């Protein structure tokens, strides 16, 4: 069998960001609206700092307003919720993102529930979670949305396909399962208590790895010709002492078996921010009763 098609997330994300920039320019020139995204970051987790900085840069590049709120790790839950309330009321802000993880002393569910659902561009508010599962219009979590867009670049019709999602997180696994069910796939979630994950994965026409375990998925876990989407971004130190980023899939082995595969880096990663920008534009339009742009 020939080597897998490599799905270029960088290119797909760049096109989506261009579409967002055009939609933002249209909103500005025709309606005087500049969509704005506010990010709240608590503490000094280095990965979170990088994420939030990249988000701000992407907002500027696409013409969106960007607001950053940095709070110390010792901030009280009440003060954090008060900050969210202020942003809920701020007319310049269409999207609010609370960077995760939050410090242990803070109840993340209570905090995420404080974000106004119409500004919840992460799609983590219980109302948006419920809407997604009941197929009502909602704001959809960015990484799962990015996975689905990449999947559709190689598989236009997903109806009837066996999809296996590895991982049951609130950020990726669970919402992804909802999206795949809505796309008429037969969906299985594999998690840390599943029996024989390899055998379940081998049934998958579509395998989405979001377990956070470096190179957990081996070549013989993959059905020949399957589409493999790798959400993992794990920093590992090689024998030569150099750090590199690897996915949840053993890429070289998988590439020889799969029909299509996303690389790490350059696969799902760039899609998350592109989808966040898209959600912010959608939220800005819905809040004002404006038609939603077709971002392709
Ligand atoms: N931390 C890791 N991924 C995400 C994400 O998609 N949204 C937020 N808010 N925090 C994250």
- Domains belonging to the chain, first-starting first, are 31-117 (3.40.50.10860), 141-269 (3.40.50.720)
Which residue out of 42, 171, 280 has the highest number of ligand 1 atoms within 8 Å of its CB and is therefore the one to mutate?
A: 171
- Bond from prior residue into 246 cis (ω within 30 degrees of 0): no
What's the confidence (pLDDT) of residue 98? 98
Contact indicator for 161, 267 with CB cutoff of 8 Å: no
The ligand 1 atom nearest the CA atom of 98: 9
Structure confidence by residue, pLDDT tens digits, 119-168: 999 999 999 999 999 999 999 999 999 999 999 999 999 999 999 999 99
Per-residue pLDDT band for 208 (boundaries 50, 70, 90) equals very high
Pick the residue whose CA is nearest to atom 9 on ligand 1.
99
Per-residue pLDDT band for 180 (boundaries 50, 70, 90) equals very high
Report the phi/psi class of residue 215: left, alpha or beta, with left for phi > 0 and alpha for psi in -120 to 50.
left
DSSP-assigned letter for residue 267: S
Structure confidence by residue, pLDDT tens digits, 24-50: 999 999 999 999 999 999 999 988 999
Which residue out of 97, 106, 112 has the highest number of ligand 1 atoms within 8 Å of its CB and is therefore the one to mutate?
A: 97
Residues acting as catalytic residues: 55, 99, 122
**Alpha-carbon gap, residue 93 to 9, rounded angstroms:** 28
What's the confidence (pLDDT) of residue 2? 80
């Amino acid at each position: 069998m020939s080597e897998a098609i490599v799905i270029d997330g960088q290119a797909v994300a760049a096109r989506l960001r261009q579409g967002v920039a055009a939609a933002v320019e249209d909103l500005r020139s025709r309606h005087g609206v500049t969509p704005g995204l506010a990010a709240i970051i608590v503490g000094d987790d280095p990965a979170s700092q990088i994420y939030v900085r990249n988000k701000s840069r992407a907002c500027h590049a696409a013409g969106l307003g960007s607001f950053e709120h940095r709070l110390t790790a010792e901030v009280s839950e009440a003060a954090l919720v008060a900050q969210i309330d202020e942003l809920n009321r701020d007319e310049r802000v269409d999207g609010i993102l609370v960077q995760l993880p939050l410090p242990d002393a803070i109840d993340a569910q209570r905090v995420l529930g404080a974000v106004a659902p119409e500004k919840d561009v992460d799609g983590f508010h219980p109302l948006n979670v419920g809407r997604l599962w009941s197929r009502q219009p909602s704001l959809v979590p960015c990484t799962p949305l990015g996975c689905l867009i990449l999947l559709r670049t190689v598989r236009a019709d997903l109806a009837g396909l066996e999809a296996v999602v590895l991982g049951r997180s609130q950020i990726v696994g669970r919402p992804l399962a909802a999206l795949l069910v809505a796309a008429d796939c037969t969906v299985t979630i594999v998690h840390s208590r599943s029996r024989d994950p390899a055998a379940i994965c081998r049934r998958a026409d579509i395998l989405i790895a979001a377990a956070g375990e470096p190179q957990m998925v081996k070549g013989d876990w993959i059905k020949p010709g399957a589409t493999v989407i790798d959400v993992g971004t794990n920093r590992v130190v090689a024998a030569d002492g150099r750090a590199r980023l690897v996915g949840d899939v053993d890429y070289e082995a998988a590439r020889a078996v799969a029909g299509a595969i996303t690389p790490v880096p350059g696969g799902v990663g760039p899609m998350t921010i592109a989808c966040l920008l898209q959600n912010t534009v959608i939220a800005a339009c819905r809040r004002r009763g404006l038609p939603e742009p077709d971002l392709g």
